[in-house]
Structure 1
Amino acid sequence: MDLFAAMRIFVRVTDKMSFSAAAEELDISSSSVSKQIAQLEQRVGAKLLQRTTRRLSLTEVGEAYYQQCLAVLREVDESDNLVSQLQGAPRGTLKINCNMTFGQLLLSRAINEFMAVHGELQVDITLDDRMPDLVRDGFDLAIRIAEPVLPNSSLVARQIASVPLYIVASPHYLQQHGRPASAEQLLAHNCLVFVHASNADQWRVQCPNSDQSVKVAGDLRANNSLVARAAVVAGRGIANLAYFVIEEQVERGELERVFADAQPEVLSVYAIYPDRRYLSPKVSVFIEFLQQWLTQQLSRRWPGSEHS
């Protein structure tokens, strides 16, 4: 029995709480998974998983052994990273977790340019607005907009770019409902909210002579900014969105700024990764590439605005 391989299988079964789901993810048969778990239990001399016809659960010993497996496998991975770094070449599979819309509109473009240069790497991307457990789920890094709340001190958050946000509406909506002249007047309008934004329904308007923040509301709250974008383009209300989300609509004249003299609110883009003493070349090379690529892509501001 390959002990490390069996430990990895045990960890995946525990994470999924399913033999079949773990087998599918690892691309092996369910019988192989069962055999490995049985051999592992025989080796440690205790039952690790309690199996019934309806559910799977850890025993008390299994819970303690699971935590030890995570620690051991983390050390093994760090040793592999050290060897890779000493060899000086990025290689293997780069596993990335990223915000949904950011991944669709920007990362999807950046990754093609990155892989054209680093063809020896394989890339595994998961788009999800929920922050994963990087270590448990095996991600090399996560890309997040706005200051992240790190679940533990073993993670590092490195700022790699800034994202301007603009409060926008369609010309039709403004003709029908009027243009707010202040932050307070937003309270009388239908404000479309992207719930995963760090500023969500708390919008800030920074004009030359005032700086105000108001809690807005409307008839649409969405966990994807593309849904909010579609609604604002359709003339259903006002939205506060990152410029990379609305750039094409601005260029086509479908959207315009509500407060022409306001400074855009700015959020940060972070690369988040486990705090390892030796950062693997595949991660460090990608972070450096993405930082330079985003600097070029996100340097653009609203056309013709001296305040942007």
Structure 2
Amino acid sequence: MALAAETSELIAFTKTVDAKSLSRAAAELGIPRATVSRRIAQLEKKLNARLLLRTTRSLVLTEPGSIFYKEAIIALEAIRQAEQSVSRIGGHLRGDLRVSIPPGMKKSFRAMLCEFTAQHPMLRVHIHTSSHHVDLRSGGYDVALRASTHMQPGLIARTLFRDPVIAVASPGYLSGMGFPVTQHDLKEHHCLVGLSRGELPDMYWPLLSGDRVKVEGTFFTDDISLLCEAALNSRGIALLPEELIRGHLQQGALLPVLKDIIGTEMQIAVVYPDRHFLLPQVRAFIDAVVIWVDSELGDQKSRKR
């Protein structure tokens, strides 16, 4: 009972720090705000230290609170891993699987997720969809599917395939604005700009030479499918992965722009924290994703996997 009480206090404290609000933490935990406040007070009494400075508008970690928060996250993750180390008892995966995926995934991927949950009915699967790169090391998520030119250090990344990223525009846009001849011509064009890691406008496009060129953005979004749609609707030039636009290129709905000058390669990978062991449900999910990639891409996947 003492361990359960101490765990609930740690959860109340760390959830409050993450949510930056007692009320939001209580809502996420599904318990009254007063209960969260009481558990934090009990924790501070046991430690004989103030962990949080609470005002009417904000919560601020004290220096002891900041140190304790980091250790509390590690302790809670150790408890979770201990619980889930027996997740295959009876031949069935049990426990939780928390996954972060980018928006705009193919219908076949969504079908694969549904099939995965059908195969593992005792598993609680949490899917978080966002273009932002969630912090896998904080213990909030077990695994993520990411497409990036640079993978975050400190994580294990299993590459699924690599995909060229090229600049494209519609014939309608190019007939009106003309084809750029050099990278410097881009300053005279409307560029459709994505957000790096889903956060900041990617105002510098990569050159095949390894350098970069600054572009003038007129449209910004963290939704890659929306970037593609804007390009198809003659709104400007977009930098897009070839796999996403292959059909549009074949149909002539999009045309390459500066193909010998602008471009890079994107790595599509499943990533997870560097832990002492891989949870069974994480391993099962990675295996399912690999099978999906094999069935989707076939021989295309062989390019620099």
Same fold (TM over 0.5): yes
Residue aligning to 1:30 = 33
Q: Is the 8 A contact 1:166 1:265 kept in 2?
A: yes
Tell me which amino acid in the other structure corresponds to 1:230.
Answer: E
Q: Which of 41, 45, 55 is the aligned partner of 1:42?
A: 45
Residue aligning to 1:306 = none
Residue aligning to 2:218 = 220
- Identity of counterpart residues, as a percentage? 30
Structure 2 distance, partners of 1:241, 1:118, is: 35
Q: Is the 8 A contact 1:18 1:56 kept in 2?
A: yes
Residue aligning to 1:304 = none
Q: Is the 8 A contact 1:81 1:279 kept in 2?
A: no
Query: What are the Cα deviations for residues 42-94 of structure 1, in whole angstroms up to 9, with x where unaligned?
Result: 33333322222222222333223222212211221222233226766422221
Most deviating of 281-290 and 248-257:
248-257
Structure 2 distance, partners of 1:192, 1:80, is: 47
Are residues 52 and 175 of structure 1, via their aligned partners in 2, closer, same or farther at CA, if it must alter by over 3 Å?
closer
Are residues 54 and 202 of structure 1, via their aligned partners in 2, closer, same or farther at CA, if it must alter by over 3 Å?
closer
Q: Is the 8 A contact 2:101 2:127 kept in 1?
A: yes
Structure 1 distance, partners of 2:173, 2:48, is: 70
Structure 1 distance, partners of 2:210, 2:256, is: 17
Residue aligning to 1:256 = 255
Q: Is the 8 A contact 2:102 2:129 kept in 1?
A: yes
Q: Is the 8 A contact 2:206 2:263 kept in 1?
A: no
Residue aligning to 2:303 = none
TM-score under structure 2 normalisation? Answer: 0.80
What is the aligned-residue RMSD (CA, Å)?
3.3
Structure 1 distance, partners of 2:261, 2:108, is: 26
Query: What are the Cα deviations for residues 166-223 of structure 1, in whole angstroms up to 9, with x where unaligned?
Result: 3322121233334456666656543322232798632446xxxxx6865252342423
Residue aligning to 1:3 = 6
Residue aligning to 2:196 = 196
Are residues 109 and 217 of structure 1, via their aligned partners in 2, closer, same or farther at CA, if it must alter by over 3 Å?
farther
Q: Is the 8 A contact 1:190 1:218 kept in 2?
A: yes
Structure 2 distance, partners of 1:300, 1:229, is: 24
SS in 1 for 2:173: helix
TM-score under structure 1 normalisation? Answer: 0.79
Most deviating of 141-150 and 105-114:
105-114
Tell me which amino acid in the other structure corresponds to 2:172.
Answer: H
Structure 1 distance, partners of 2:137, 2:89, is: 22
Tell me which amino acid in the other structure corresponds to 2:193.
Answer: V
Structure 1 distance, partners of 2:242, 2:251, is: 14
Aligned length: 293
Most deviating of 17-26 and 106-115:
106-115
Tell me which amino acid in the other structure corresponds to 1:254.
Answer: A
Residue aligning to 2:129 = 127
**Which residues of structure 2 form unaligned runs of 5+?**
301-305
Q: Which of 63, 66, 71 is the aligned partner of 1:68?
A: 71
Tell me by how many angstroms 1:276 deviates: 1.6
